[in-house]
């Protein structure tokens, strides 16, 4: 770890003043569950670390605006989200948090930090860059945990966030602010992420002097949702693949749906094809499986990860069944 | 003093032995008060961090340390692998930086510039063909045993081939199997390392070691001093599993840096270095043909095996093949593969878990092929075993295991069990054997005239509960409580006791401590006898008193009895030499394990439901600690069966998952129910103490593999049985 300057601003204005316009010079510190390890391995080498946990504008869970959306502060800890009664209807989010399986992690990790976790790709973590030689190291190397979708370019890693698929399926937006307090943009959460094509580009669209301040979660009482992660073991390791489904049901007929996958692509992956399979249909094993197949129809596995197609397919169908409160037939039902 | 006859009290007589006692040091370990090597910090110490080689095979060119030396706080840079050294595996330590703080040491490491000349890399230890093409193979041991000898008419050279092929022709069933088990690392929670200082010309070392008594000479040899100039201390060890027998080259270098700088030095490996260079268990892969008669009795085994112990490539596992179950006719051949990986170290029951997982899977496949109960095949084939335990003991252990598992109720033919959703369940079993000889051990026992008792022994506690064993043996013999005794272990200045390797420690210390205590109490009886007006043979030590057997009124308190010693304490030393026949200890144990698993056919995820471990170990000192040893071993078996594997980049040889975030281990929720049964009939108890640490880790892997095969009706050939491997096997079998 290199020496660095440490700052602990109290409000957003102070925070924005501390950010560098140059990528990589400043890193934001939430719970530190990811950043500290990256710094120790010198994968990131910031000159300044800015702790966002005391920034007033990043706190709290509250209702906002006329629509009654829930505003989740980026510095809110995962265990607070898990305990929050207002989040009770958002099954997909709660499932995803529970899936992290570690009380220590939930008590430490912040919402913003979790959404912006750096990929666990072992080539990236071993200092070969996010693209690892334009993807060549991964193609020649060991790709068992890498992408099966969105991997035609040099990026082969999978996005690390476990909460993103749930929040994306629930229609969440991200509020980004910076470089001044007046510079605000609101994005669909899926648009926060990108697939880098050049080394040096990160896996999200945040500018160096921009901060994720809140996640805006629309409240739709008729929506039921779930996340299904296929995990190798009960520990906090990332799942092999995961899916979140949010369904608007009328009786048992799906009126609207959104399905997002995790750990299958360099970004959280919105599977519109899967949603199309179930919209207008009465929910059943059959349609859930059709949705699973549709979600992976265009998958392009690498040398070592063909099995992930099956895993992702099952995750999608089980997330849909679980969202509809139907038995999934597998573990963790 | 009468000639002391060493023996153990009977189960009825024993007051301490065989009782469920808590560990004496359980509380200090649980509260963090126990000081492990990593917890030791010395005044004015320097922290050392090392630069490890990023390449798996290369030659060191130039090393530029100027920038590192200029980092504020850096005191010294020490070269471990000078220019022109050939590096054979990733992680080998090139240079070390000693600094005032960890931060400065790491910054110094980052500023060392090394030029490397790249050399060819080979790490695919499972690919015999590729290894052959790459010139990375070496013939390993082979053996053939056939019941029939060639007749005068038969060509001796051709006989073996012809006889084996005749036996297969005679076989009603022939299993053709492929099985394997990946390399794993020791993954010690406390990494290897030392904190040490020179006191004049004497070296004082706190070393994380499982070999307290015999690492002083390792330092002495390398530093050109003598072993009396080195003190090694280790009160607690955070895991060794066979990887912590020596000072290691970084330990020696730490002493050299301390000498050079005149400062104490602390050097513990980083996590990824620990996984890369501080111990791994070799891999094994095998192609087997197993022939059996129409009853399912195996009559011939023929195997070709390969695998790697790293860059030396020497074998070992093949010597244990086929494991325990050994038909009267067998041929085993083995090829050793030289990979750019660190040389393997002993790992809990070296070679046995691999051999078991590559042999007893074939026996289970025989049951599957015949459509019969695996239990019956495993029972029947006890007629032909090669083991240090007797077949009749396995018979009893299998019966107990089956009852605890409810085997008959739960059993179904392979792949024919009920499916609930996508979940199928299965049962599997396997058996194992081990030696567990008592190691050489010396004990110094001092009994003070005021009744105080202290013992000294240069042994260690790698998790065994060694302190508690010493105290229980002394307490039993002297008629005291364990708390009344001060047990001292963990220093090379104490009487020598062997390394904790080979499940030899409990045998070792119970030998030396029982002997010392029996010798001591005989002397006290001699002093007490005239006072009580009896012969010393009529005395016993019990409940804190020395008195006449069967006559409670004629006795002295322990303190009164010790007062008879006069002004000087009584000192007794006793010893046991490994391999000496003794009434107190023996060699050779067996065990049976049965696994019940559930498998999600759609995701390939395997979950443990239950594992039953039945184990004999002769006389059991403390059943609670023995069970605890078995729980640990079973968890480690579940780890290598379902999770653990060293993953290397096939091209660069980089150890990809050398961090705990990627090196997968089971968590509490992955363990399921563990049921332990200690098998201790009088026929086993009378054999004396036999080691336990290793055997219960052996057969769990094979048992779990067999249970998964029973669930799916498909063999997932290579451990660990990851979801990927389960799904790949199902796809290849055309199931999904």
For the stretch B607-664, pLDDT in tens is 999 999 999 999 999 999 999 999 999 999 999 999 999 999 999 999 999 999 999 9
Describe the crossing of helices B352-370 and B623-642 by its angle, rounded to 10 degrees. Answer: 70
Contacts of B285 (CB under 8 A, 6+ apart): B125, B126, B128, B178, B179, B180, B181, B305, B306, B307, B358, B718
Instruction: Name the token pair of B456.
Output: 């000294």
**β partners of residue B612:** B594, B675
A237 contacts B661? CB cut-off 8 A: yes
A232 contacts B723? CB cut-off 8 A: yes
Q: Which residues of A touch B607 (CB under 8 A)?
A: 331
pLDDT in the model for residue B552: 83
CATH of domain B26-32+438-576: 3.30.365.10
DSSP state of B158: H
Q: How far apart are CA A74 and CA B367, in angstroms?
A: 58
Reference B520, options B474, B467, B468; nearest CA is B474
CATH number at residue A293: 3.30.390.50
Instruction: Tell me the three-class secondary structure of B6-21, residue by residue.
Output: CCCCCCCCCCCCCCCC
Instruction: Name the token pair of B236.
Output: 């607690």
Structural domain includes residue A292: yes
Instruction: Name the token pair of B333.
Output: 């051949």
Structural domain includes residue A296: yes
Q: Which residues of A touch B728 (CB under 8 A)?
A: 306-307
**pLDDT over 90 (residue A66):** no
Interface A–B counts its CB contacts (< 8 A) at 116
pLDDT in the model for residue B1: 56
Q: How far apart are CA A128 and CA B544, in angstroms?
A: 68
Q: Mean pLDDT, chain A, as a whole number? A: 96
**Residue A179 is part of which domain span?**
60-116+158-323
Contacts of B122 (CB under 8 A, 6+ apart): B130, B131, B134, B136, B338, B339, B340, B653
Hunting for tokens 């108890």 — which residue is that? B685
Structural domain includes residue A312: yes
Q: Which residues of B touch A142 (CB under 8 A)?
A: 647-650, 656
ipTM: 0.97
Q: Which residues of A touch B667 (CB under 8 A)?
A: 101, 233-236
Does B605 touch chain A if contact means CB atoms closer than 8 Å? yes
Contacts of A28 (CB under 8 A, 6+ apart): A35, A49, A50, A51, A52, A112, A113, A211
CA distance A122 to chain B (A): 6
CB B711 within 8 A of CB B599: yes
What is the full DSSP assignment across B274-320? HHHHS-EEPPEEEEEEEEE-TTS-EEEEEEEEEE--STT----GGGG
Instruction: Give the CA distances from residue B556 to residues A126, A236, B526, in Å, rounded to whole numbers and listed in that order.
Output: 70, 61, 13
**pLDDT over 70 (residue A74):** yes
Q: How far apart are CA B506 and CA B462, in angstroms?
A: 11
Instruction: Give the CA distances from residue B491 to residues A235, B199, B454, B459, B496, in Å, rounded to whole numbers and listed in that order.
Output: 38, 17, 15, 7, 9
Does A328 touch chain B if contact means CB atoms closer than 8 Å? yes
CA distance A173 to chain B (A): 30
A137 contacts B106? CB cut-off 8 A: no
Instruction: Tell me the three-class secondary structure of B200-225, residue by residue.
Output: CCEEEEEECCCCHHHCHHHHHHHHCC
CA distance A232 to chain B (A): 6
Structural domain includes residue A49: no
pLDDT in the model for residue B736: 64
User: pLDDT band at residue A333, thresholds of 50, 70 and 90?
Assistant: very low
Residue-wise pLDDT tens digits, A145-197: 999 999 999 999 999 999 999 999 999 999 999 999 999 999 999 999 999 99
- CATH 3.90.1170.50 boundaries in chain B: 37-120+192-268
pLDDT in the model for residue A331: 82
User: pLDDT band at residue A238, thresholds of 50, 70 and 90?
Assistant: very high
CA torsion angle A88 A91 A97 A103 (round to 10): 50
Instruction: Tell me the three-class secondary structure of B316-359, residue by residue.
Output: CHHHHCCCCECCCEEEEEEEEECCCCCCCCCCCCCCHHHHHHHH
DSSP H or E segment with residue B512: helix B505-532
User: pLDDT band at residue A332, thresholds of 50, 70 and 90?
Assistant: low
Q: How far apart are CA B557 and CA B145, in angstroms?
A: 64
**pLDDT over 60 (residue A302):** yes
Instruction: Name the token pair of A58.
Output: 């990043």
The minimal CB distance from B103 to the residues A1, A305, A310 is found for A1
Does B422 touch chain A if contact means CB atoms closer than 8 Å? yes
Residue-wise pLDDT tens digits, A269-278: 999 999 999 9
- Give the number of other CB atoms < 10 A from CB of residue B568: 8
A230 contacts B723? CB cut-off 8 A: yes
In chain A, which residue's Cα lies nearest the Cα of B423?
A330
Domain total of chain A: 1
The minimal CB distance from A307 to the residues B604, B659, B670 is found for B604
Does A142 touch chain B if contact means CB atoms closer than 8 Å? yes
- Statement: B346-436+587-732 belongs to CATH 3.30.365.10: yes
End-to-end CA distance of chain B: 77
Does A42 touch chain B if contact means CB atoms closer than 8 Å? yes
Structural domain includes residue A285: yes
In chain B, which residue's Cα lies nearest the Cα of A317?
B602
Q: Which residues of A touch B656 (CB under 8 A)?
A: 122-123, 126, 141-142
pLDDT in the model for residue A220: 87
DSSP state of B5: P
Structural domain includes residue A130: no
Residue-wise pLDDT tens digits, A77-121: 999 999 999 999 999 999 999 999 999 999 999 999 999 999 999
Reference B213, options B490, B625, B473, B464; nearest CA is B490
Residues of chain B with pLDDT below 50 are none
Q: How far apart are CA B259 and CA A152, in angstroms?
A: 56
In chain A, which residue's Cα lies nearest the Cα of B664?
A237
pLDDT in the model for residue A23: 83
Contacts of B142 (CB under 8 A, 6+ apart): B318, B331, B332, B333, B334
**β partners of residue B99:** B47, B74
Does B672 touch chain A if contact means CB atoms closer than 8 Å? no
CA distance A154 to chain B (A): 18
Structural domain includes residue A181: yes
Structural domain includes residue A328: no
The half-sphere exposure of B357 on its side-chain side, counting CA atoms within 13 A, is 33
**Which A positions 242-301 lie with beta carbon below 8 A of chain B?**
none
**Which A positions 159-218 lie with beta carbon below 8 A of chain B?**
none
Contacts of A289 (CB under 8 A, 6+ apart): A313, A317
DSSP H or E segment with residue B63: strand B58-64
Reference B614, options B641, B594, B636, B628; nearest CA is B594
Instruction: Name the token pair of B124.
Output: 């695919």
Does A137 touch chain B if contact means CB atoms closer than 8 Å? yes
- CATH 3.30.365.10 boundaries in chain B: 26-32+438-576, 346-436+587-732
CATH of domain B37-120+192-268: 3.90.1170.50
């Amino acid at each position: 770890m290199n020496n660095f300057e440490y700052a602990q601003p109290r409000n957003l204005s102070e925070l924005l003043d501390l950010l560098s316009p140059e990528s990589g010079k400043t890193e934001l510190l939430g719970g530190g569950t990811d950043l500290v390890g990256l710094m120790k391995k010198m994968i990131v080498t910031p000159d300044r670390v800015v702790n966002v946990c005391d920034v007033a504008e990043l706190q709290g869970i509250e209702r906002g605006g006329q629509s009654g959306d829930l505003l989740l502060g980026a510095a809110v800890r995962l265990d607070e989200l898990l305990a929050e009664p207002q989040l009770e209807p958002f099954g997909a989010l709660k499932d995803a948090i529970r899936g992290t399986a570690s009380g220590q992690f939930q008590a430490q990790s912040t919402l913003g930090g979790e959404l912006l976790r750096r990929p666990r790709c072992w080539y990236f973590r071993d200092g070969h860059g996010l693209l690892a030689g334009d993807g060549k190291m991964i193609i020649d190397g060991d790709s068992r945990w890498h992408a099966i979708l969105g991997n035609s370019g040099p990026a082969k890693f999978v996005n690390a966030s476990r909460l993103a698929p749930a929040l994306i399926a629930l229609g969440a937006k991200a509020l980004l602010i910076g470089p001044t307090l007046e510079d605000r943009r609101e994005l669909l959460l899926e648009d926060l992420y990108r697939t880098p094509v050049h080394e040096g580009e990160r896996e999200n669209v945040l500018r160096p002097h921009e901060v994720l301040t809140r996640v805006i979660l629309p409240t739709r009482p008729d929506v039921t949702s779930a996340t299904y992660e296929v995990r190798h073991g009960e520990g906090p390791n990332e799942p092999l693949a995961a899916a979140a489904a949010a369904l608007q049901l009328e009786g048992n007929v799906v009126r609207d749906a959104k399905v997002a996958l995790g750990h299958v692509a360099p970004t959280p992956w919105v599977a519109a094809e899967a949603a199309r399979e179930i919209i207008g249909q009465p929910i059943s094993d059959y349609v859930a499986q059709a949705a699973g197949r549709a979600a992976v129809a265009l998958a392009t596995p690498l040398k070592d990860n063909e099995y992930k197609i099956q895993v992702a397919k099952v995750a999608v169908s089980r997330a849909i069944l679980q969202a509809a409160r139907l038995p999934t037939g597998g573990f963790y039902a | 003093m009468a000639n002391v006859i060493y023996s153990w009290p009977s189960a009825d007589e024993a007051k301490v032995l065989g009782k469920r006692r808590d560990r004496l040091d359980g509380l200090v370990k649980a509260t963090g008060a126990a000081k492990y090597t990593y917890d030791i910090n010395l005044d004015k110490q320097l922290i050392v961090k090392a630069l490890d080689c990023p390449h798996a095979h290369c030659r060191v060119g130039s090393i530029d340390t100027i920038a590192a030396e200029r980092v504020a706080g850096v005191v010294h840079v020490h070269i471990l692998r000078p220019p022109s050294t050939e590096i054979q595996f990733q992680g080998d330590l090139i240079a070390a930086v000693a600094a005032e703080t960890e931060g400065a040491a790491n910054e110094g490491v980052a500023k060392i510039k090394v030029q490397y000349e790249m050399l060819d890399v080979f790490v695919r230890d499972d690919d015999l063909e590729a290894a052959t093409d790459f010139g990375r193979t070496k013939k390993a041991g082979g053996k053939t045993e056939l019941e029939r000898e060639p007749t005068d008419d038969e060509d001796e050279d051709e006989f073996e081939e012809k006889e084996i092929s005749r036996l297969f022709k005679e076989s009603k069933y022939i299993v053709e199997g492929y099985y394997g088990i990946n390399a794993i690392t020791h993954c010690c929670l406390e990494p290897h390392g030392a904190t040490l200082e020179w006191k004049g010309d004497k070296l004082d070392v706190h070393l994380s070691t499982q070999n307290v008594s015999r690492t002083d000479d390792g330092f002495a040899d390398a530093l050109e001093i003598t072993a009396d100039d080195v003190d090694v201390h280790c009160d607690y060890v955070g895991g060794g599993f066979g990887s912590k027998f020596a000072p290691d080259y970084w330990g020696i270098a730490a002493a050299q840096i301390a000498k050079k700088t005149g400062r104490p030095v602390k050097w513990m490996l980083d996590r990824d270095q620990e996984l890369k260079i501080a111990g791994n268990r070799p891999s094994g892969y095998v192609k087997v043909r197993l022939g059996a008669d129409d009853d399912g009795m195996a009559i011939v085994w023929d195997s070709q095996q390969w695998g790697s112990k790293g860059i030396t490539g020497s074998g070992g596992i093949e010597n244990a093949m086929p494991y325990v179950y050994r038909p009267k006719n067998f041929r085993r051949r083995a090829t050793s593969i030289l990979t750019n990986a660190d040389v393997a170290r002993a790992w809990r029951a070296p070679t046995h878990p691999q051999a078991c997982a590559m042999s007893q899977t074939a026996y289970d496949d025989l049951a599957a092929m015949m459509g019969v109960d695996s239990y019956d095949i495993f029972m029947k084939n006890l007629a032909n075993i090669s083991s240090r335990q007797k077949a009749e003991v396995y018979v009893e252990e299998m019966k107990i295991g089956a009852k605890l598992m409810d085997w008959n109720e739960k059993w179904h033919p392979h792949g024919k069990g009920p499916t609930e959703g996508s979940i199928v369940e299965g049962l599997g079993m396997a058996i194992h054997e081990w030696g567990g000889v008592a190691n050489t051990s010396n004990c110094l026992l001092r009994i003070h005239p005021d009744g105080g008792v202290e013992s000294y022994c240069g042994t260690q506690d790698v998790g065994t509960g060694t302190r508690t064993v010493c105290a229980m043996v002394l307490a039993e013999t002297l008629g005291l409580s364990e708390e009344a005794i001060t047990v001292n272990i963990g220093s090379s200045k104490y009487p020598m006791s062997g390394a904790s390797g080979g499940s030899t420690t409990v045998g070792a210390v119970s030998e030396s401590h029982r002997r010392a205590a029996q010798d001591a109490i005989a002397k006290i009886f001699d002093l007490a006898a005239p006072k009580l007006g009896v012969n010393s043979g009529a005395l016993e030590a019990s409940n804190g008193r020395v008195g006449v057997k069967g006559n409670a009124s004629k006795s002295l308190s322990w303190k009164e009895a010790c007062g008879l010693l006069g002004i000087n304490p009584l000192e007794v030393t006793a010893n046991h030499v490994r391999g000496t026949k003794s009434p107190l200890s023996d060699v050779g144990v067996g065990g049976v394990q049965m696994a019940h698993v559930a498998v999600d056919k759609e995701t390939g995820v395997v979950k443990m439901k239950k594992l039953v471990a039945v184990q004999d170990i002769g006389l059991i000192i403390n059943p609670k600690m023995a069970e605890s040893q078995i729980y640990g071993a079973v968890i480690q078996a579940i780890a290598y069966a379902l999770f653990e594997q060293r993953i290397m980049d096939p091209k660069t040889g980089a150890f990809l998952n050398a961090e705990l975030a990627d090196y997968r281990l089971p968590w509490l929720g992955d363990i399921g129910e563990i049921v332990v049964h200690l098998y201790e009939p009088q026929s086993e108890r009378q054999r004396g103490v036999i080691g336990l640490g290793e055997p219960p880790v052996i057969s769990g892997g094979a048992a779990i593999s067999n249970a998964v095969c029973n669930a799916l009706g498909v063999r997932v050939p290579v451990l660990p049985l990851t979801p990927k491997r389960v799904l790949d096997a199902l796809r290849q079998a055309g199931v999904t």
